[in-house]
Amino acid sequence: MKKVLLSLLAGGLFLGAQAQMRPAELSEAHDQFRREHQQRVPKIKEGATLKDLKATKGGHGSKLGNNEHYAGALPANRWFPGEWEEVQAIVVTWPYWNVPANWQSLGDQLGYYDCEATFSGYGEIYKYQNGWQYQGFGAIDQLPYCVGYTFNDTDTASMNHTSVFAYLIDAIRQGGAEPWVRVTHLTDSIRVQQHMQYLGLSTTGIKWIEGFGDSFWFRDCGPICFYYGDQDSIGMLDFMYYPGRAIDDSLPSLIAAQKNIPNWITAIEWEGGNCVVDGDGFVMSSDHIYEANADTYGQLLWAGPSTSPSTYAQKSPLSEQQVRDSLAYLMGPRGVKILPAFQYDGGTGHLDLYTDMLDENQFVFSKFPSQYSNWTDYRTAAKNIDSMTSWQSTFGINYKKDYIPFPRKDDGSYFTSQTEYNGVTNPYTGQQSQRGYTRTYSNHTFVNNVIVQPCFSKVVNGEPSAQWDREYLDSLRAAYPGYTFYPIDVRAFDGFGGALHCITKQIPADNPIRILHPSITGGMQDTYTTQNATIEARITNRSGIASAEVRYRVNGGAWQTLLMNNTGGDTYRTTIPTTTLQGEWEVEYYIHATSNNGKSINKPYTGANGGAYRFSNGETVGISNVVAEEQFGQFYPNPATDQAHLNINLLGGANYSVAIIDAAGRTVHSSSLQAQGEIVYTINTARLQSGIYTVVFYGNGTQVARRLIVK
C-alpha cells in the first residue's frame, strides 16, 4: 500500500513513522489494543462502585429523551418480524481510532496513543511505552480509520478490519436497503465515502447517524424493532447493553432522535445476538441471559471529566422466572425458550453463532463435523438442536431443520481441538489466550434478497479464493435458495467473538405485507397423490389485501397461477392439483400477494428467483444436512465447454434429485438420479449459458452442492 498521511492539517502527520519503534510493531500494538478494549464482552472495571439512581433509562444510566418511553407502556398489537422479512435499512458503525482530544498537537507521538471511549468525548488514555501504559482519564476524540487519513503503509490490520465495514455497507446497498452508518462527526462521512471510493465502491444511498461510539457490536446494543397498531408503525425495544458500554447503549436513543422512531426502554440486560424470534410471538435465547440479569451492575455512570469513572447504576437482580416472564411480556406471548449456552464461544453465549431461521417454519444450524465430537460445545449443540426441532411453530407442527457446514482453518484443515479453535496466540508473549476464533457461517445478515456472508479466505471477483471456502459457500447457496450471496473475508475479526451478524442491526420496512404460511417441503411420498396439496396462509397489510395467488410449476416446467380465496379473516387458501400428476414429480411454488395500497411481495422473499418451496412424491427432496461429501468428487473439466463429469460413489444405492442453480439463484434445470456403486455423472454444459452454477444433489436426507463454471 502506498504511504498515506494524516491530512487534516497542512503538512500532515505520520502515524508513528519517525519514532524509535518500527511502524509494523506499532500497528500490531494498536491491533492488540483494539482486540482487548473492543472485545465482545467488556469486563466490570476494577474497584467499581454502585449508585442507586431511580430516574434513569431503566437502569441504563441516563434520563429518557424525546420520543422515548418506558417498556411498561409498550403499545398493544405489536409483533416482531423475523430477520428474513423485508427491511428498509441496516444500522452499522464505521470503525474509529480513539485519540487524546489534543491529538493535533502531538505530532509524531500521536501514533503511540490509544484510548478506550467511556462516555461521549471522554475516555481512558493510554500510551505505548514497553506496553500500553495508563495515562489517566480525560477528553478524547475519534478519528475514522480511512485511507488518506489514519493509515500508514504498514497498518494492514486496520486496513483489513476497516475493509470489512466498507464492503458490508456496499452489500447492504446491493440488498436494496439503506446503510445507516454511525459516524462520530458528520464531517467524517466525507472521509468514509472517500475510503469506499478508494476501494471502488459506490457511496450512493448512505444515511448517517451522528454520535460517539465505543465499539462496533451493533447487533448487541442496537434496538429490537417491532410493528404495532393498525398502521403497522415501527417501534424499537431497547434492552440494556453490557455494563461498560454506556455510549453504544445509547445507540437506540440516537436513532430515536435522528430517525424519528419511537423507543421503549427496559431494564432487562440482553444482547441482540442472543435473540432469535420466529416472527409470530415465539422468542429464544441462551441461559447467558440469566447470568446477565442476576447481578446488580447496571450501566456506567458519568462521574465527571476529572477522574476515571468506575461507578455503575445499581439494578435489581432478577430470578430466572422473572427473566422468562419479562421476555414473555415484552416479546414472546406465544412462548419463551431458554437454551444452554456454549461454553467456548468467546464469552457471549449467543445463539447467532450457530443458528438462524430461514422462515417461521425452519431453523438452519451450523453443523460441527464429526471430528469435533469430543468438544463440549459439540454435545451442547446436538442437544439444543434436538430441543429446538421438538418445539412447535405457530402452525402447531415441529420446526424443520437444515444444516450448513462449519468453517475450517485457513489451510482447509480441521481444528485439532476445542482449545485450538478457541485459543489465539498473543504475538508479544507467545501465550495462548481464550478469546476464541468463533468462526461460523451462521453469523451472516439477511438484507432482503441478499445474504451478507462471512468467509475465511480472500474474496476475488466476488468468490472466496480458497477451494474449501468456495465449496462451503456453494452448500450455503443450496441451503438458502434464491438468495444472492455477498461474501466478505472476516478473518480480521478472528479473536473478537463474532462476525457480520454481530455488527449489523435491521430496521424493518415500512408498510409490510405479512405472510405466515405452513410451507410444504421435502419428500411427501404418497400424501399428495390421493389428495390435492392445500396451500394456506395468513396475509395482512394495513390497507388490506387486494389479491393473493400461488405460482407453481411441476418438474421445472412452465409457471402456473392459482388464485387464493379469502376464507375468512386474514386466511387465504387454494389447492395445487397434485392428484392429476403422473409418475415421479416435484412441485415448486411460492405465494405472491398485493396490498390495496399497491405493494407486492413474495413468500418466500426469493420465491420468484429460485427460492420457491419444493415438495415431491418421493422421500428425499428438500432435506439437507451437508453430509456424504466424501461420496462426491468435483466436476472436471471445470471450467467446462461441452460436458462436465463428476465421480460419485453411491455405495448401496440411492435416489437423488438434482438441481442446477445459476448465479442469480434460479433453478435452470431439474432432474433425478437413481444408481448404485461408482458412477460418472455427466452434464451437457453446451446447453447452459456461460457463468457460474451450483449443482445440488438432494437425497437420503442429505444435500451436496458442487460448483460448475461454464465457458
- The CA distance from 533 to 526, in Å, is 11
| Burial of residue 557 (number of CB atoms within 10 Å: 0-12, 13-18, 19+) | exposed
Q: What is the pLDDT of residues 607-640, one digit of tens each?
A: 999 899 999 887 544 334 444 556 788 888 888 8
CATH number of 514-616: 2.60.40.10
Q: Other C-beta atoms within 10 Å of 106: how many?
A: 15
pLDDT of residue 434: 46
- The CA distance from 532 to 576, in Å, is 6
Question: Which amino acid is located at 701 in the chain?
Answer: G
CA 616 to each of CA 526, 551, 684: distance values in angstroms, whole numbers, following the listed order? 9, 16, 25
Q: What is the pLDDT of residues 262-316, one digit of tens each?
A: 999 999 999 999 999 999 999 999 999 999 999 999 999 887 776 777 889 999 9
Prior bond of 637 cis (ω within 30°): yes
CB-based burial, 195-213: b 16+ in 10 Å, e otherwise: bbeeeebebeebeebebbb
Q: What is the pLDDT of residues 375-385, one digit of tens each?
A: 989 999 999 99
**Which has more confidence, 119 or 523?**
119
Average pLDDT value for the chain? 88
Q: Other C-beta atoms within 10 Å of 530: how many?
A: 8
Q: What is the pLDDT of residues 55-95, one digit of tens each?
A: 567 678 777 888 999 999 999 999 999 999 999 999 999 99
Q: Are 277 and 252 in contact (CB under 8 A)?
A: no
How long is the chain? 711
User: Domain 629-710, CATH 2.60.40.3080 — does that match?
Assistant: yes
pLDDT of residue 104: 93
Q: Is the pLDDT of residue 452 over 70?
A: yes
DSSP string, 234-257: EEEEEEEPPTT-HHHHTHHHHHHH
| % of the chain exceeding 90 in pLDDT | 62
pLDDT of residue 271: 95
Q: Are 163 and 36 in contact (CB under 8 A)?
A: no
Radius of gyration of the chain (CA): 26
CB-based burial, 241-257: b 16+ in 10 Å, e otherwise: bbbbbbbbbbbbbbbbb
pLDDT of residue 7: 31
CA 599 to each of CA 266, 509, 612: distance values in angstroms, whole numbers, following the listed order? 34, 12, 20
Query: Model confidence at 48, in pLDDT bands (50, 70, 90)?
Result: confident
Element housing 650 (H / E): none
pLDDT of residue 153: 62
- The CA distance from 101 to 138, in Å, is 8
pLDDT of residue 498: 86
What are the start and end residues of each CATH 2.60.40.3080 domain in the chain? Answer: 629-710
626: left (phi > 0), else alpha (psi -120 to 50), else beta? Answer: left
If you search the block for the grid coordinates 448487541, which residue do you land on? Answer: 220
pLDDT of residue 634: 82
Q: What is the pLDDT of residues 501-552, one digit of tens each?
A: 999 999 999 999 999 999 999 888 889 999 999 999 999 999 999 999 999 9
Q: What is the pLDDT of residues 346-363, one digit of tens each?
A: 778 899 999 999 999 999
Mean pLDDT of 579-588: 91
If you search the block for the grid coordinates 471477483, which residue do you land on? Answer: 461
- The CA distance from 42 to 197, in Å, is 34
Q: Is the pLDDT of residue 54 over 70?
A: no
- The CA distance from 255 to 222, in Å, is 9
Prior bond of 309 cis (ω within 30°): no
pLDDT of residue 623: 36
- Name the nearest CA neighbour of 479 among 499, 453, 498: 453
Crossing angle (nearest 10°) for helices 188-198 and 156-174: 90
The answer to which of 282-286, 302-306, 425-429, 578-582 has the lowest mean pLDDT is: 425-429
Q: Other C-beta atoms within 10 Å of 130: how many?
A: 6
Q: What is the pLDDT of residues 330-348, one digit of tens each?
A: 999 999 999 999 887 777 8
If you search the block for the grid coordinates 418451496, which residue do you land on? Answer: 613
- The CA distance from 476 to 469, in Å, is 11
pLDDT of residue 700: 62
pLDDT of residue 649: 80
pLDDT of residue 619: 58
Q: In degrees rounded to 5, what are phi and psi of residue 82? A: -70, 160
What are the start and end residues of each CATH 2.60.40.10 domain in the chain? Answer: 514-616
Mean pLDDT of 484-494: 93
DSSP string, 614-657: EEESSS-TT---S--GGGB---BSSSBSSEEEEEEE-TT-EEEE
- Name the nearest CA neighbour of 683 among 699, 697, 695: 695
Beta strand 68-70 with 263-269: parallel, antiparallel or unpaired?
parallel
DSSP 8-state assignment for residue 262: -
